[in-house]
Amino acid sequence: MLSLGVGARGANAITQAPHAANPERPTFATHAYAVAAGFAELEQGLSVRGIRSLREATSWDVNFKVGISAHVQAALFGPLYVREARGGGVGDMGVALKLRADVSRGAAVALVSTATFPTGSAARGLGAGRALGGLVAVVSAELPWSLHVDVNAGPQGVGAGPPQWFTSVSAARPWGRLGLTLEAFDFTPGGSGGRRQGLLAAVVVRLTDRVVADAGGVGGTLDGTPDQAFVGVTTNLGRLFR
C-alpha cells in the first residue's frame, strides 16, 4: 500500500525539502514522485483484515525506498511478518524500480516495475510459491484547492497465468498537519488471485517534517474482497550517499 503532501502526497511534493517524508502508503496506488537522490525513506505499517472478521489475518509491511537520482527510485518491500489461518511467518518480499518525470509544475508521470520472490510459504498461505512481476503507469496532478490526485493502471501477478489488471484513483487533501486520502481500487481476476474491488479512507498526520503517520481502513465493495484496518508510519532516514 502506498500517500499525501502535508500529510502525504501533496501540493508541494515536487518542490519539498529532500529530508521531508513523502509516503507512498497508505493507498494501494503510488504517486509519481521519488525520494530525493541519495536519501532513504522507510515505510512500515500494521494491518488486520478479513472477509468475515478482521481477525482472519495480520501483517507487518515495510517499504524501504532509496533515491538513486532525481528520476529514479529503488525499493525493497513486502510483509516481514504475515499471520494467516494456517500459520505465520515472512511473506513474499520484492523489489521495485520507479522511473519518473515532471510534466509541468503541477503534474508528473512514472512507470513502476516490480518483482516479488517466493520467500513466503505457499503451503501456509503466506506467499504465491513463485516469482511474480508487475508494471504500473502513474499520473499525479496537483489540482486547485490543494487537491492531489493519483491515477494508477497496469498488470500485476505476471508469471502466474493471466495477469490481474490493477486500476486505482486516489485523492488527497491537507489541512495544516492533517490530511485526508480517499481511494477506489480494482483488481481484475487472474492467475494470482480473484477479483478485488474496494474503497479506502485514511487520516494522515505529519508529526515532524521527517515523520508521517497514517490510520484508516478498506471496505470491500465486491464479495471476496477483505475489509481492512491499518496504522502506519513513514520516516525519512536522511542522506545515505552523495
Q: What is the pLDDT of residues 83-132, one digit of tens each?
A: 998 989 999 999 999 999 999 999 999 999 999 999 999 999 899 999 99
From residue 34, how far is each of 22, 43, 102 by CA, in Å? 8, 13, 11
SS (H, E, C) 142-204: EECCCEEEEEEEEEECECCCCCEEEEEEEEEEEECCEEEEEEEEEECCECCECCEEEEEEEEE
Residues constituting the chain: 242
Q: Closest Cα to residue 183, out of 169, 195, 194, 196?
A: 169
- As given in the structure block, the three cell numbers for residue 215 are 490510520
Cis peptide before 162 (omega within 30 of 0): no
- As given in the structure block, the three cell numbers for residue 37 are 537522490
**pLDDT, mean of residues 142-157:** 96
Q: Report the amino acid identity of residue 198.
A: G
pLDDT of residue 15: 60
3-state secondary structure of 9: coil
pTM for the whole structure = 0.92
**pLDDT, mean of residues 173-180:** 95
Q: How far apart are CA 73 and CA 95, in angstroms?
A: 11
| Mean pLDDT, the chain, integer | 93
Q: Closest Cα to residue 116, out of 83, 56, 75, 65?
A: 75
Residue 11 has pLDDT above 60, yes or no: no
**pLDDT, mean of residues 199-212:** 97
Q: How far apart are CA 177 and CA 35, in angstroms?
A: 20
How many percent of the chain have pLDDT more than 70?
94
Q: How far apart are CA 224 and CA 184, in angstroms?
A: 16
Beta strands in 21-156 (DSSP E): 39-50, 57-69, 72-84, 87-89, 94-104, 107-116, 132-143, 147-156
pLDDT of residue 14: 56
Rg (CA), the chain: 17
